[in-house]
């Protein structure tokens, strides 16, 4: 607790913990989770509450409660809540151990960056609290450092702790640890599996998510070098959750729960001895050398459907979107294969006109999202004109889109409730007050309307604080040009269009 007061954790948001993300998984798996627009969310170990604050601004009909035992972080969060004028966030200074098991009735409970970092009694308490405070169709998110991936990372942790032993100043501890890892990486002159692991680990220091240099120290101290940092095998946490009356629903990213990406021979060999879903996922963790897990849990009694609905009904209650666009120069003639590519370089090629039409349409309306039936009607009109295709086509299209969703969320994304995004640049564009605050605070990455982190260019960093619905295009161009001397008007307008595309603009 003292360390969090001395060196607070950075203000981070976590896309997987958004109620919409959890609701999508729940809906696909037969639950009827509360919609994100009218739900209650509890976060254990919320730090300063940034994750909840970002959600709360765009979900004013929902209520958000955060618990943390660092007074400094809770105070910082409360100041931000007041500054943004949010009425639906309650940040409480408390030790999770002291809370009653039934702390209220919540549709979602989040414990991110918590389970591995607290002692055993707090872990047990958190699971009991989830069991007694989660509504019948509620979903909990519990992340932890996982074996086997953490075996190698633990070696890095041990070396850093050894190097920093005897040093009392936390900032100095982090600095000597980092210097040591650099030395370790640079000393590996011969190629070896250890050398490549160390070099990769060292380079991860540079690209630490949304964390600028000033906050690097905090994540190193509170994550790898934390006093308590216990990794677990996936099956161990599932067993503990079951003992508390909960069941494992799925990995939050869903792909992690499936053998997608493995060749079919590997899958059939695993299937010959994996006795159930949990066993299979544990083997997948071994094969992937997984080092971090984000579990979704629900009540043991909840009616989970492990086999997804086939065909168009898989998308009942869901909206679809896509980041993919056709590769430049792709023709539109029938029979041609078209390659659709996402900004993170995931590609999908198809020669099926209906699937092409669906992706083209999703690309056109992006970042808006559509129900499957609306998408199908439009894709069918584009692909077939007035002629009526067989009904089975809709099911075939749904299966392809669902496979794409499992393969990559940027190819097909799913939501239970459309987001409040604006897909074009209006005369006085607006982003969230939270994003403006983050950009003013110097963040290199800010949170978009989909609760994802977006990395900003120098021009965008100057624009975001002014996207308050008051500044017109001339004022924005002037600000962009003042920040980056060679930014032309076109360049600033391009940046604004880009901000719209990455769901930074809200209606």
Ligand X SMILES: C[S@@+](CC[C@H](N)C(=O)[O-])C[C@H]1O[C@@H](n2cnc3c(N)ncnc32)[C@H](O)[C@@H]1O
Stretch that binds ligand X, among 116-124, 177-185, 403-411, 493-501 (CB under 6 A): 116-124
Q: Would you count residue 4 as binding ligand X (CB under 6 A)?
A: yes
Neighbours of 123 (CB within 10 A): 24
- Residue from 26, 33, 36, 113 touching ligand X (CB under 6 A): that is 113
What is the closest distance, in whole angstroms, from the C-beta atom of residue 12 to ligand X in the complex?
4
Near ligand X in 265-324, by CB under 6 A: none
How many whole angstroms separate alpha carbon 188 and alpha carbon 194? 8
Rounded Cα gap, residues 181 and 258, in angstroms: 34
Residues 6+ apart with CB under 8 A from 357: 378, 379, 380, 382, 383
According to the binding rule CB under 6 A, does residue 80 interact with ligand X?
A: no
- Residue 281 to residue 171: CA distance in whole angstroms: 39
Instruction: Output 67 or 492, the one with its CB closest to ligand X.
Output: 67
Q: 52 is written with which tokens?
A: 């909840």
Return the number of the residue (220 or 411) whose C-beta is nearest ligand X: 220
Bin 389: left if φ > 0, else alpha if -120 < ψ < 50, else beta. beta
| Residue from 27, 65, 70, 447 in contact with ligand X (CB under 6 A) | 70
Our finding on whether 69 is near ligand X (CB under 6 A) is: yes
Q: Which residue is nearest to ligand X (CB)?
A: 45
Q: Which stretch binds ligand X (CB under 6 A): 64-72, 320-328, 446-454, 493-501?
A: 64-72
For position 114 contacting ligand X by CB under 6 A, the verdict is yes
Range in contact with ligand X (rule: CB under 6 A) among 94-102, 164-172, 180-188, 402-410: 94-102
Query: Closest distance between ligand X and the C-beta of residue 7, in Å?
Result: 11
What beta strand segments (E) does 404-476 contain? 413-415, 445-447, 453-455
Shortest distance, position 131 Cβ to ligand X, whole Å? 17
Segment lying near ligand X (by CB under 6 A), choices 61-69, 284-292, 296-304, 355-363: 61-69
If we measure between CA atoms, which residue out of 277, 190, 180, 275 comes closest to residue 224?
180
Minimum distance, C-beta of residue 464 to ligand X, in the bound complex (Å): 21
Contacting range for ligand X; rule: CB under 6 A; set: 110-118, 153-161, 368-376, 473-481: 110-118
Of 24, 58, 67, 456, the residue at the interface with ligand X (CB under 6 A) is: 67
- Total residues contacting ligand X by CB under 6 A comes to 21
Quickly count: other Cβ atoms within 10 Å of residue 318's Cβ: 18
* By CB under 6 A, residue 112 contacts ligand X: yes
Q: Name residues contacting ligand X, limited to 202-231 (CB under 6 A).
A: 222
DSSP codes of every residue in 147-187 = ETHHHHHHHHHHHHHHHHTT---HHHHHHHHHHHHHHHHHT
Minimum CB–partner distance for residue 23 and ligand X (Å): 20
Residue 98: exposed, middle, or buried by beta-carbon count in 10 A (0-12, 13-18, 19+)?
exposed
Considering the complex, what minimum distance in angstroms separates the CB of residue 132 from ligand X?
A: 17
Q: Does 367 bind ligand X (CB under 6 A)?
A: no
CA distance 489 to 394: 45
Return the residue of 83, 95, 172, 316 that touches ligand X, per CB under 6 A: 95
Burial of 317 (0-12, 13-18, 19+ CB in 10 A): middle
Closer by beta carbon to ligand X, 14 or else 290 = 14
Nearer Cβ to ligand X, position 8 or 26? 8
Q: How far is the CB of 69 from ligand X (least distance, A)?
A: 4
> Does the protein bind ligand X through residue 357 (CB under 6 A)?
no
Task: Supply 279's token pair.
Answer: 């066993």
- How many Å is the Cα radius of gyration of the chain? 24
Q: Which of 6, 72, 84, 97 binds ligand X (CB under 6 A)?
A: 97
> Per CB under 6 A, which region of 115-123, 296-304, 383-391, 442-450 contacts ligand X?
115-123
Distance in Å, CB of 216 to ligand X, minimum: 14
Q: Cβ of residue 229: shortest distance to ligand X, in angstroms?
A: 10
**Of 117, 144, 234, 248, which lies in the binding site for ligand X, with binding defined by CB under 6 A?**
117
Residues 30-59 within binding reach of ligand X (CB under 6 A): 45-47
Please write down the HEC assignment for all residues of 299-340.
ECCCCCCCCCCCHHHHHCCCEEECCCEECCCCCCCCCCCEEE
Q: Is 447 in the site for ligand X (CB under 6 A)?
A: no
Q: Which of 9/406 has CB closer to ligand X?
A: 9
Taking the least distance from each CB to ligand X, the nearer of 46 and 358 is 46
- First-to-final CA distance of the chain: 40
List CB contacts of 428: < 8 A, sequence separation 6 or more.
469, 470, 471, 472
Is residue 66 within the footprint of ligand X (CB under 6 A)?
A: no
**Which residue's CB is nearer to ligand X, number 106 or number 117?**
117
Cis peptide before 58 (omega within 30 of 0): no
- Structural contact between residues 99 and 111, judged by C-beta atoms closer than 8 angstroms: no
Determine whether 457 is exposed, middle or buried from the number of CB atoms within 10 Å of its CB (0-12, 13-18, 19+): middle
State the residues that interact with ligand X by CB under 6 A.
Answer: 4, 9, 12, 45-47, 67-70, 73, 95-97, 112-114, 117-118, 122, 222
């Amino acid at each position: 607790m003292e360390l969090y007061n001395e060196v607070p954790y950075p203000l981070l948001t976590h896309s997987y913990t958004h109620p919409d993300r959890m609701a999508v998984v729940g809906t696909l798996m037969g639950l009827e989770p509360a919609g994100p627009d009218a739900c209650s969310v509890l976060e254990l170990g919320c730090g300063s509450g940034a994750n909840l604050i970002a959600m709360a601004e765009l979900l004013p009909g929902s209520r958000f409660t955060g618990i943390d035992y660092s007074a400094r972080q809770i105070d910082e969060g409360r100041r931000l809540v007041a500054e943004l004028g949010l009425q639906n966030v309650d940040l409480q200074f408390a030790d999770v151990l002291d809370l009653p098991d039934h702390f209220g009735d919540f549709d979602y409970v989040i414990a991110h960056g918590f389970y591995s970092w607290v002692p055993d009694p707090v872990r047990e308490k958190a699971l009991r609290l989830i069991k007694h405070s989660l509504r019948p169709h509620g979903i909990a998110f519990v992340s932890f450092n996982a074996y086997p991936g953490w075996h190698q990372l633990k070696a890095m942790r041990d070396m850093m702790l050894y190097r920093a032993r005897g040093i009392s100043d936390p900032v100095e501890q982090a600095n000597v640890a980092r210097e040591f890892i650099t030395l370790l990486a640079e000393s590996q002159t011969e190629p070896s599996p250890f050398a490549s692991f160390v070099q990769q680990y060292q380079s991860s220091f540079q690209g630490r998510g949304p964390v600028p240099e000033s906050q690097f120290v905090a994540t190193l101290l509170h994550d790898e070098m934390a006093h308590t940092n216990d990794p677990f095998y996936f099956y161990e946490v599932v067993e503990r959750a079951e003992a508390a009356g909960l069941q494992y629903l799925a990995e939050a990213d869903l792909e992690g729960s499936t053998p997608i990406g493995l060749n079919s021979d590997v899958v059939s060999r695993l299937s010959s001895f994996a006795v159930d879903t949990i066993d299979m996922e544990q083997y997948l963790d071994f094969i992937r050398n997984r080092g971090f897990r984000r579990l979704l849990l629900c009540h043991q009694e909840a009616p989970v459907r492990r086999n997804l609905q086939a065909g168009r009904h898989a998308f009942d209650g869901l909206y679809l979107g896509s980041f993919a666009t056709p590769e430049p120069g792709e023709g539109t003639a029938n029979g041609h294969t078209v390659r659709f590519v996402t900004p993170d370089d995931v590609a999908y090629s198809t020669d099926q006109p209906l699937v092409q039409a669906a992706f083209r349409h999703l690309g056109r309306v992006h970042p808006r999202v559509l129900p499957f039936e609306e998408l199908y009607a439009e894709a069918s009109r584009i692909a077939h004109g007035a002629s009526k295709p067989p009904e089975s086509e809709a099911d075939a299209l749904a299966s392809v889109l669902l496979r794409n969703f499992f393969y990559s969320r940027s190819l097909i994304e799913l939501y239970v409730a459309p987001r409040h995004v604006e897909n074009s640049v209006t005369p006085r564009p607006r982003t969230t007050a939270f994003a403006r605050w983050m950009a003013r605070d110097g963040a290199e990455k800010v949170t978009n309307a989909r609760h994802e982190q977006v990395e900003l260019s120098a021009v965008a960093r100057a624009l975001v604080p002014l996207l308050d619905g008051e500044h017109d295009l001339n004022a924005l161009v002037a600000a962009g040009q003042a920040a980056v001397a060679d930014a032309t008007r076109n360049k600033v307008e391009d940046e604004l269009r880009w901000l719209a595309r990455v769901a930074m603009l809200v209606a």
